[in-house]
């Protein structure tokens, strides 16, 4: 079952611009996570935001969470060519278990 749905499916921007990706989910959660996947590689964890948090920063990443709208956004500022990757949100579906449900991802391309 797909819990998270990312939007847009693909995004292409110029280097230096900001990139914003959105994620919506259906059920209550304990936390929401964002991951990056470079082509042909495994996923890398970027950031986790708990359900009682509204915003979190990590370097050039900013994540927001709106539990009333069941949505989250990932902002990458001052994008670089190395940010080209697919980005996935994942939720724990509030079950208290450690398993995650992933969205289908946003394919981000940074053009030099």
Q: Which residues bind another protein (CB under 8 A)?
A: 1-2, 31, 33, 40-45, 48, 88, 90, 98-105
Give the residue carrying structure tokens 């280097």. Answer: 15
Of 50 and 78, nearer to another protein (C-beta) is 50
Of 15 and 37, nearer to another protein (C-beta) is 37
Least distance between another protein and beta carbon 5 (Å): 10
Number of alpha carbons in the 13 Å side-chain half-sphere of residue 24: 6
Least distance between another protein and beta carbon 68 (Å): 23
User: Dihedrals φ, ψ of 77, to 5°?
Assistant: -95, 155
Measured between alpha carbons, how far is 29 from 73 in angstroms, rounded to an integer?
15
* CA angle 30–73–57, rounded 5-degree value: 80
Of 31 and 73, nearer to another protein (C-beta) is 31
Least distance between another protein and beta carbon 47 (Å): 9
């Amino acid at each position: 079952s797909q819990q998270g749905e990312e939007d847009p499916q693909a995004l292409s921007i110029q280097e230096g611009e900001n990139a914003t990706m959105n994620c919506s989910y259906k059920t209550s959660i304990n936390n929401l996570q964002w991951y990056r996947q470079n082509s042909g590689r495994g996923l890398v964890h970027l950031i986790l935001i708990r359900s009682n948090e509204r915003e979190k920063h990590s370097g050039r990443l900013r994540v927001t969470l709106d539990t009333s709208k069941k949505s989250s956004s990932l902002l990458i500022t001052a994008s670089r060519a190395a940010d080209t990757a697919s980005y996935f949100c994942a939720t724990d579906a509030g079950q208290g278990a450690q398993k995650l449900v992933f969205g289908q991802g946003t394919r981000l391309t940074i053009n030099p």
